[in-house]
Amino acid sequence: MWIAVAVVSVLIAAGAVLLVKKARRAPSKCRVCDVVDVPQPGALCQQCRREAAEAARRAATERVDHERAQLEELRQQKAREEEDARLRDQEQARQREEEAARQREHAASGREGEARRREEEARQSSQAGVTAQEEVFDPYAILGVSRDASQQEIRAAYDQAKLKYDLDHVAHLGPELQEHFKAKALAMDRAYQMLTG
């Protein structure tokens, strides 16, 4: 009987070992679809692996496409900014040119007005000067020096008057004004000759 108990004990132990091994070897299911048996717990079946790889490829492609789209957007934005800057520069250049044209026009009208004023003054003074010259010729008054002026003062006044009545300064003005300046220059020369000669 002891033998029978030992045999039964061995059989029970062997059955328990087989049961434990069989339980350990029980096939695992795919962690995604939970339908197909896989050799290792937590693994994916072939179909699920293929789908996962395709999803990873799509994600990578979408990421690259997204980055490309962002780069293209940045490039277009930079191009728009450069175009805006170019248009601003053109507008500023146009405004500067218009301002310069206005200033030139203003200066030209100012010169014309000044020339007309000088011409009128010359005409009036030449009419008054002709009668005054006929009455009395005062060399000191013509040169603008006092009666006790030295030769150096007379020479300085003569040089200054010569510059003032230089015909080159009025060559662009009318003939009446040029005639007036010529008469003044002749009177100045005559006065200088009288005082130094």
Per-residue pLDDT of 163-194, as tens digits, reads: 888 878 777 878 888 888 888 888 888 988 88
What's the distance, CA 22 to chain centroid? 83
Does 99 score more than 70 pLDDT? yes
pLDDT above 80 (res 125):
no
Identity (one letter) of the amino acid at 82? E
- The reported pLDDT for the residue numbered 25 is 56
Model confidence at 83: pLDDT above 70: yes
User: What is the pLDDT of the chain when averaged over all its residues?
Assistant: 83
The three-class DSSP label of residue 183 is helix
Total-model pTM: 0.34
Each residue of 25-62: pLDDT tens digit? 556 777 777 777 767 766 777 888 888 899 899 999 99
Q: Which two tokens stand for residue 132?
A: 């005054």
Whether the CB-CB separation of 158 and 192 falls below 8 Å is answered with: yes
Average pLDDT rounded to a whole number, residues 90-99: 94
Every domain of the chain and the residues it spans: 29-135, 136-197
**CATH fold of 136-197:** Helix Hairpins (1.10.287)
Higher pLDDT, 80 or 142: 80
